[in-house]
Structure 1
Amino acid sequence: MLPVFSGLGLGLSLIVAIGAQNVFVLRQGIRREHVLPVVIICAVSDALLIAAGVAGLGFVISAAPWLIVVARWAGALFLLVYGILAARRAWRGGEQLRVDPADGERATGRSSGPATATATRTSLAPVVATALALTWLNPHVYLDTVLMLGSIAATHGEDRWLFAAGAIMASILWFTALGFGARYLGRWLRTERSWRILDALIAIVMITLAVSLVLPVLGA
């Protein structure tokens, strides 16, 4: 069973980091908004990418590096737009949490005054689209999850799928903990000021990641 634990350890080491996908899952978890679909999308996407890497897709990527270049520009553009939207939310404000005696803290949408019983929620479709884009337009996921994990899994020979199972388990555990554990941060995010700070940090992370994606291409 050693390959399983090796895959679990490496999977966690690659995924537990500040990144666009993790920031998005964290924000949805804090808002308690479509958390389960987001967690499922991220975990299943990771599982598919890990399986593809173990099956040999990494060799295709290494043979066609232009695919990574395309993913870099597409991902950078998406992250830049997402970062600008987060900066806009931070500038405008108006978002906060309310305390509902029936079910505890829940995230509300935009409001012009004190929190009320009416919650403005983002519909499922754009949340799903964002989760998919942050996962599949990230070039690092192909370099780390597909190419690196796939190459390391190959060193385990016939046990490579046990290694993959461990890495997939790491993704499921991480996204579940991040998405559903984020609600406990709600006590610090009851005010509009707290949400403006959070959105400002999200904007900084997203725009910084967007720039970091294209720097290697511009410097080439």
Structure 2
Amino acid sequence: MSEKTAYWGFPIRNELHEEARETAERIHRGDAGAKRLSGDAANIVIQLTDHGLESYYQRPTEIVPLSGGMQKTADSGIKAVMSAIRMVIRQFFSKRSEDELRELSTYLESMLWVHPETGEAHLVFTIDADLHRRATDLIAQTRNDSNPENYIGDVIDTLCEVVELSIHHYYHQPTNKVAMGGVTKKSADMGISTAEKGIRRLLDKLLRSLKHEQLVELSHHLESLIHDESRAS
């Protein structure tokens, strides 16, 4: 008997996948000092973040272009956010001990996944069967129902749930595995919370303004981020 494990995640270059694996192995072996390994780990995470930006922002705005003014504003905002994220990543890893690096590398390895059929590398996290079912059902409804008012609220709620899960896996899980100063952690948590609220507002505003044809185009991209894999039980 077999059952399926469902994942949400984006593709990454196969070369980056291998580099991430090799870096994790070097961290486990302790091939270099903590400072060198911290720098290597930060570089990997920054590259993964850039791939995430491609899947979560750049590709969707290519599929459903924003108006000129909104696109310029959004691009400027994303550029500033990404610069800040890269700086935070470097600062975060610069303060990690070898034991913390090993724990973080184990966590990263658990998110590296290769599609069993295409061989394409991804960064993923698991989603439960209910969310997987709701997401796939909504994608099908989007394509079959020409009246977005019948389902757009559910689409927004489901995507906001994915955003919450993403923040849990990309931020809360790794930061909870290491020691961070109370003030630093509180400040970082507040920044993440503010960003999450902003994303929710943006999703609501943008998706409600899309036509059915645009939502159908976007659904194909979202479908490409959902994966499942059969496993023996």
TM-score by length of 2: 0.36
Greater relative contact order structure (CA < 8 Å, 6+ sep): 1
User: Which is strand-richer, 1 or 2?
Assistant: 2
TM-score by length of 1: 0.38
User: Which is helix-richer, 1 or 2?
Assistant: 1
